[in-house]
Structure 1
Amino acid sequence: MKVSLVVAMDNARGIGKNNDLMWHLPADMKFFKETTTGHIIVTGRKNYDSIPERFRPLPNRENAVLTRNADYEAPGAHIFSSLEACLEHYRNETERTVFIIGGGQIYKEAMDLGVLNEMFITHVNHTYGADTFFPEFDEAEWNVETVFEYAADEKHAVSFQVRKYSRK
């Protein structure tokens, strides 16, 4: 089983505010869609609820939602009570990657469990006053390569870089 993580964070490691995205970067959304399509995405309940209803579950991906609420329903998605239970369910997966897509608490759990093979981190060149942050990690434990860089333009208010972190 390959476990990856996808996140976009600002210069202060901010990933969200009021349970919402803080920026509109179509090229980064396209990268997210292309990277996760055909795979498994794992998200916390609050993060899942923040996805506009018309896009839930995210199409062409197996959706897994983590929640401690035993009564929670997410038609078309699998529900798990913990990240450990979710990963156990997919432990024999060989064809698809399990992508952790947030939010902050789920990212921290994945980092603490030490299960990540790689991370795709979009570094957004701005600070937005977030209330949710991506956890600190030791970059020395990872090989880092730039996937692509994108300059600000009429559709992107700020520039950003997508970097791939592979476990050493």
Structure 2
Amino acid sequence: MVRITALSFALLGAVSLTEFTALALPAPVANAPSNLSTQQNTTEVRSKLDSITNLASCSLDHRYNNGECTDWADARYYQLTCQHTTWMGDARTWPNSARSAGGWTVSSQPRVPSIIVIQPGYQGCGATGHVAVVERINGDGSVYTSNWNYEFNGKGGLYTTSYGNFNTGSGVSFIWN
């Protein structure tokens, strides 16, 4: 299901559903090459709209308000998906907690949006591990994340949003619902 929000219309420059439909669904092109498929173009546009229209659909809601990475990961994931996590605890426990909660996917493959979990001792993470929200998958397979309580180039900390890249692989998993 595609969620149409005010942000969606603003991003597309549309002011009405009629204009939105005209922008979203390409019209057949006269004398188009036979290998060009309007159905394929329509599907591609709808797929791209799905990722745009699901963003910023709920307000940022900090349930724990403790400034930790877990607080940010839950709040930002909720902002993007309207779904809070159903567990608490150190970042390192999140994959098992997600499996136990049911309905959540834990994978070694990233997706946007998802929660990245980095286990202790990997990529500079301490004894409790780290969680962040995947904002983008980079061309090299690494992920660009938003974080709390994690420093990138000297920026970040409690209640401070920082952005940076993490690699996929050993000690890393991704959670989504």
Greater fraction helix: 2
User: Under TM normalisation by the shorter chain, which class is it?
Assistant: under 0.3
> Which structure has the larger Rg over C-alpha atoms?
2
TM-score (structure 1 length as normaliser): 0.25
Say which structure, 1 or 2, has more relative contact order (CA 8 Å, 6+ apart).
Answer: 1
TM-score (structure 2 length as normaliser): 0.24
Greater fraction strand: 1
